[in-house]
Amino acid sequence: MDLAFSDDEIAFREDVRAFLRDQLPTDLAEKVTAGTHISKDDLVRWHRILFEKGWIAPHWPAEFGGCGWNANKRYIFDQVMTEFPTPEPVPFGLQMVGPVIYTFGTDAQKQRFLPKILSGEEFWCQGYSEPSSGSDLASLQTKAVSDGDHYIVNGTKTWTSSAHIADWIFCLVRTSNEGKQQEGITFLLIDMKSPGIDVQGIKTIDGDRHVNMTYFTDVRVPVENRIGEENKGWTYAKFLLGHERTGIAEVGPSKRRLRRLKEIASAESDGSAALIEDAAFAGRIADAEIGLTALEYLSLRFLAEEAAGREIGPEASMLKIRGSEIRQQITELTIEALGYYAVPFEPDQLSEGWNEPAIGPDYAAAQMPDFMFSRAATIYGGSNEIQRNIIAKMVLGL
């Protein structure tokens, strides 16, 4: 992996910076900076801007509408994006199901779904976890029964992030109880407008609605919406989880959080010295930054492996573990740096139209909900305890 950038790559970095300076809408940048709620319309607008530039899918092969960049350019693009207050694209289509479709899908599925994922015309969500099947995903019980050229789906999915704004859901369902649990799972693409789907929101500790309960009652799904073979869905799910856990590393967002932490800790208050002048606190920030730098280089290693055509394996669990832990570490330090300004938390103040004055600095309001929702980072995407088991078994061979 060579990070000695060429003249062309350095010029590319400046092109990305110039594009963001000119094309990132001011109101979106202000929302991201303030931590204000980002609506679906906001996400679609930013998605379309990147799509029209041809930069919406840096990690996709060029033949399917991706950028066709080498590992260095992908790294540069990701780094420059964190320099600006850009909304984070919803990952379920671009980073998760999109690669599954172009890797395992039929030509008809590629033609039907990939263009609309790229354009942002269709948003996706993930139907994996169930009330009794979280980290033990293979125990899922949502059933799909064959009925001619359709499946009839019944069951419940939980923690379905973005289901309330999604047009489609990629879903793991049980089509057989024979053999090992993993051998009876099938991967379906389901239209969220299908009769029999009921989405009920779950309000999380940060006061927002990220996740949902999703109920399926006699939902008819065309067989043509099945990815690959029946009962082989676990294979495609593992492939997808590798991409999800790589994304959960969140190196870019954590860099942005670290910059904000340093800004908060460097602010003087009531004539007192800035908190960053305290050697003990500065040392804790340095520890978080060292961990983030190590995570970044581990991520680059995986990026180079993928660029060389080698599949992301169980090693991706290392990214998930460290990425979620570092996110929690940085948000915890941020709350400490804010002190009593972090205590008064009113979720509605992060919604548009809130007219009450902020308590403390303008940037304080968004930090507590970020801290609270970050507590879930070590659980979603497969709990860190399960990830350590995967590493022990699949990587270390213990």
pLDDT by 10-residue block (mean), the chain, 398 residues: 75 96 95 86 95 94 91 86 89 93 97 97 95 85 96 97 96 93 94 98 86 97 97 90 68 90 84 87 97 90 73 79 95 92 74 68 81 88 84 82
CATH 1.20.140.10 applies to domain 248-395: yes
Q: What is the DSSP string of 353-387?
A: T--SPPSSSGGGTTHHHHHHHHGGGGTTTS-HHHH
123-231: in CATH 2.70.98.20: no
Name the residue ranges covered by the structural domains of the chain.
Answer: 7-89, 123-231, 248-395
When the pLDDT of each residue in the chain is averaged and rounded to a whole number, the result is 89
Q: How far apart are CA 161 and CA 212, in angstroms?
A: 6
For the segment 66-96, what is each residue's pLDDT rounded down to a tens digit?
998 887 888 889 889 989 999 988 889 999 9
Per the structure block, which two tokens stand in for 253?
Answer: 């967002």
Q: Give the model's pLDDT for residue 65.
A: 94
Same fold, 123-231 and 248-395: no
pLDDT of residue 77: 92
Q: What tokens does 1 get?
A: 């992996």
Q: Tell me: the pLDDT tens digits for 164-196?
A: 999 999 999 999 998 888 899 999 999 999 999
Which residues are known catalytic residues?
A: 244
Would you state the pLDDT for residue 243? 63
pTM for the structure as a whole: 0.87
Task: List pLDDT tens digits, range 4-51.
Answer: 678 998 999 999 999 999 999 999 999 888 888 889 999 999 999 999
* 220 phi/psi in degrees, rounded to 5: -90, 125
Instruction: Give the containing element (helix H, strand E) for 117.
Output: helix 107-119
State the pLDDT at residue 301: 82
The reported pLDDT for the residue numbered 312 is 67
Q: Is 258 exposed, middle or buried (0-12, 13-18, 19+ CB in 10 A)?
A: buried
Residue 93 near residue 56, CB atoms below 8 Å: no
pLDDT of res. 377: 87
